[in-house]
Structure 1
Amino acid sequence: MVDDAQVDADRVLDAFGARWTLDTSALVPAARERLDRLWARCRVPGVDGSAAGVEPFVVTDPDPYAVSRAITLASLRRRRGTAVLLHAAGLESRGRAVALVGPSGAGKSTAALVLGRELGYLSDETVAVEPDGIVSPYPKPVSVVTDPGAPWDKHEEGPDALGLREVGGTAYLQAVVVLERDPVREVPELAPLPLVDAAIAVIAQSSSLTLLDRPLHRLAELLSRSDGPYVLRYGEIAHCVDLVRDLLEDRERPPREPWTTTPGSTTHADTHAPRPAGTLTRAPWHDALHGEGGSVVLVGEDVVRLGPVGEVVWTAAEAGIGVDEAVEAVVAALGEHPDADRLVRERLDELLRTGVLLSR
């Protein structure tokens, strides 16, 4: 007779690149069997717990939703700094994947549930994009809301039981789409979204982005695939199947504005050069993105949109600039304004408060 420990050792799951053996020995047999069914799509055939890179995961709570959240969070910790990790639903067709990104309540799980019956189901909540563009699958149980009046009360259903299609093979990211659900909208629309607007929305739905090398550059590369990024404005996701399927087709699309990035610096410019008191310089930053929609700077864990005045000042502050010089530079770049001095100084105060600029 095979004991429970041996059964668990042979049950290896892959959660977007993090591999686990589930130790469910603390659970009753019915709970163990249920988890086994729910996670069948994530099982790695022919691999056991002794394989390299496989770690144990002890399950003590029989609630499938709690197990799902715990595995996701533990896997996010293991994958941090190695892949772009998006809180998104992932769908696939003929080796091309789309990530549908949105905040809690935007309908990611519903999108996976509905679209996954027409397209390959990659995940309902986590899309991990590797450096080569491959999306590491996470066909976990889908978190389903049973009572609209209690959206946090969810239960888990396995993708097989829900009739979700399996992914045929390796999937490469084709496009990133920001979800905007409006219950009263009758006709869905898939439209281009300015790169910087999309970056701000997606950064808020990502994990450990600042641990990556050149994080905004890497994110912009993903967002601009298929001449994206895009926004999907919709009322019912069931009306969006053709729009999403079309996005996964390999076809030419209207070109978008070019973008650039400015690599981060761990120190502000010319730290040791003598400067007058009050000189403004760039504070240390991870990365900066410039493109359609303006510019954003990643400072610490925060993404700050510069705006027209901020862009002029941040560019000029590379070598250090005084407040009066900053006012003059903004006027030269953007034109005269009767309140230019006040408006620029107010914006400078904001940039100092948010940590984008330093004053010596």
Structure 2
Amino acid sequence: MRLRILGAALSVVFDSGVSADERDELRRAWSRCLEEGEEQASYDSAVQNSALRNSALRNSVLRNSAVQGGSPRTFRARILAGPAVVPVSGATFEGFAADLTSALTLAAIEQRSGQLLMLHASGLSDPGTGRTAALVGPSGIGKTTATRVLARGLGYVSDETVGVELSGAVVPYPKPLSVIVDEPPAPKRQLGPDALGLGDTPAQGSLGALVLLERERAPARAGRPAEVRRPAEVRRPAEVRPLSHAEAIVGLAPHTSSLGKLRHPLQRLCRLLDSCGGAVSAVYGEAEELAALIPSLLARPAVSGGWAPAVVPSPQADDGDLPTGRLNRGDVVDAVEVTVPGGGGTELLVMVGQRVLRLGGIAPALWRALRSPARFEDLPTRIAPEVGLPAGYEEALSDAVELLGDYGVLTRS
């Protein structure tokens, strides 16, 4: 089975345990990711939907604890991802299919790291324009459920990873969805978007909206955990709040894959936020509440987020010529300076390793002051025109320098 996932070419070689019917089922589930020319099994959605409603028919097929020749089956396959070979195995077909989905996703992400900006998000597109909304959030927040609800009227891009090229073009990943079919403890099934009646996947599209999801929790009752839902009769729109670029980047960074491998990742995020009209957070209880949100967000015009790159290399002497005791900028992945809305100065966003730091106060002024190395004693002269020097500034300045040094934002020779 040859697949194209996030632009990466992957192949699945079935080694043992997987019957011809099960291979056909997997091809149906992955139909929108199959390479052009890959043979597809015939598919009758009406028959499959009937089978999903009839668990007795499902249970009549010998599979999960299936016995062939008197011994339990073990399902085995290999994923060929360039030179890498990833083995996948499972004791049940459902478990094997779920692990295969996870392994394929990770293999594709590994291949595209450093090229695509990859958001852990549900992707839904306008059927007419291909503009895509990325609903970003951690596992368990309801992205798959939101996808099943919203993709009845919108295009299905992904329920797992939204990949974005440098140009802003979206690379679809219309993978199978992990869905509860039978009552627990029955395992989830990997069902393709066609079986679920999801909208078409756009051949071309661009990122048009970035939404950070937050699930609203109802008050917990005694002895029971809080329920993540509003009362069933309430279907008001999600509560939306615009985010500054600094807020958005800090919120998005934990939900990206291999962010630090991109060239100038923070600048890339800022440009993407500009093109989307900025990001928003959405507090919601049920997926239906998001339905009214998407069209208006996709229609927002681009903005200028009031930011500037902050990683212009400092002029430095050779190590042997650099006097000791000098402060300098750290070896950071990227940095941007972002204007605080309402005239509140600027904030410095710095990526050190895999960590994104949001720094205010005198940190932006210190960063600018160290365009060239300086002794600590020189700093007051350099930053005074920008921030002033209130009484007792020495201790505060020393603390700030020490903290930035701990973060790796500043270094001392």
Which category describes the TM-score, using the shorter chain as reference length?
0.7 to 0.9
Q: Deviations over 1:113-133 (max 9, x none)?
A: 221122111101111111222
Aligned residue in 1 for 2:363: 310
SS in 1 for 2:281: strand
Cα 1:143–1:47 shift into 2, 3 Å: closer
Q: Is the 8 A contact 1:21 1:54 kept in 2?
A: no
> Residue 261 of structure 1 is aligned with which of 309, 315, 335?
309
Aligned residue in 2 for 1:4: none
> Residue 406 of structure 2 is aligned with which of 349, 353, 358?
353
Q: Is the 8 A contact 1:261 1:288 kept in 2?
A: yes
Question: What is the CA-CA distance between 1:47 and the residue it aligns to?
Answer: 5.0
Matched residue type, 2:194: D
Structure 1's unaligned 5+ residue stretches are: 1-10
Cα 1:273–1:135 shift into 2, 3 Å: same
Residue 246 in 1 paired to residue 296 in 2?
yes
Question: What is the CA-CA distance between 1:296 and the residue it aligns to?
Answer: 0.8
Aligned residue in 2 for 1:195: 245
Query: Matches of 1:145 and 1:259 in 2, distance apart?
Result: 45
Structure 2's unaligned 5+ residue stretches are: 40-80, 219-229, 231-235, 341-346
Q: Deviations over 1:116-174 (max 9, x none)?
A: 12211110111111122221111111134689999xx7543221222211124311111
Aligned residue in 2 for 1:20: 10
Matched residue type, 1:238: E
Aligned residue in 2 for 1:278: 325
Q: Deviations over 1:282-338 (max 9, x none)?
A: 011221112245221112222222222211111111212333443565565334545
Q: Deviations over 1:26-69 (max 9, x none)?
A: 23314323322221221133258xxxx98887653342211110
> Residue 141 of structure 1 is aligned with which of 162, 176, 187?
176
Query: Matches of 1:147 and 1:357 in 2, distance apart?
Result: 56
Q: Deviations over 1:190-245 (max 9, x none)?
A: 33211011112212111222222222211211122232122222222211111112
Cα 1:331–1:108 shift into 2, 3 Å: farther
Query: Matches of 2:390 and 2:183 in 1, distance apart?
Result: 51
Query: Matches of 2:371 and 2:105 in 1, distance apart?
Result: 41
> Residue 97 of structure 2 is aligned with which of 51, 55, 64?
64
Query: Matches of 2:307 and 2:277 in 1, distance apart?
Result: 12
Residue range with higher mean Cα deviation, 330-339 or 173-182: 330-339
Cα 1:119–1:58 shift into 2, 3 Å: same
Cα 1:149–1:276 shift into 2, 3 Å: farther
Aligned residue in 2 for 1:130: 165
Q: Is the 8 A contact 2:131 2:206 kept in 1?
A: yes
Matched residue type, 1:286: V
Matched residue type, 1:303: V
Residue 179 in 1 paired to residue 213 in 2?
yes
Q: Is the 8 A contact 1:264 1:284 kept in 2?
A: no
Aligned residue in 1 for 2:27: 36
Q: Is the 8 A contact 1:192 1:229 kept in 2?
A: yes
Count of residues in Structure 1 that have an aligned counterpart in Structure 2 = 341
| Paired residues for 1:209-228 under 5 Å | 209-228=259-278
Matched residue type, 2:105: T
Question: What is the CA-CA distance between 1:101 and the residue it aligns to?
Answer: 1.4
Larger Rg belongs to: 2
Query: Matches of 1:148 and 1:329 in 2, distance apart?
Result: 67
Query: Matches of 2:269 and 2:301 in 1, distance apart?
Result: 22
Q: Is the 8 A contact 1:18 1:54 kept in 2?
A: no
Aligned residue in 2 for 1:3: none
Q: Is the 8 A contact 1:280 1:323 kept in 2?
A: yes
Q: Is the 8 A contact 2:125 2:131 kept in 1?
A: yes
Cα 1:137–1:315 shift into 2, 3 Å: same
Question: Identity, % of aligned pairs?
Answer: 34
Tell me the TM-score normalised to structure 1 length.
0.84
Q: Is the 8 A contact 1:264 1:285 kept in 2?
A: no
Query: Matches of 2:142 and 2:316 in 1, distance apart?
Result: 44
Tell me the TM-score normalised to structure 2 length.
0.74
Question: What is the CA-CA distance between 1:177 and the residue it aligns to?
Answer: 1.8
Matched residue type, 1:43: L
Cα 1:120–1:329 shift into 2, 3 Å: same
Q: Give RMSD over aligned pairs.
A: 3.0
Question: What is the CA-CA distance between 1:77 and the residue it aligns to?
Answer: 0.8
Q: Is the 8 A contact 1:264 1:287 kept in 2?
A: no
> Residue 83 of structure 1 is aligned with which of 105, 113, 116?
116
Residue range with higher mean Cα deviation, 176-185 or 84-93: 176-185
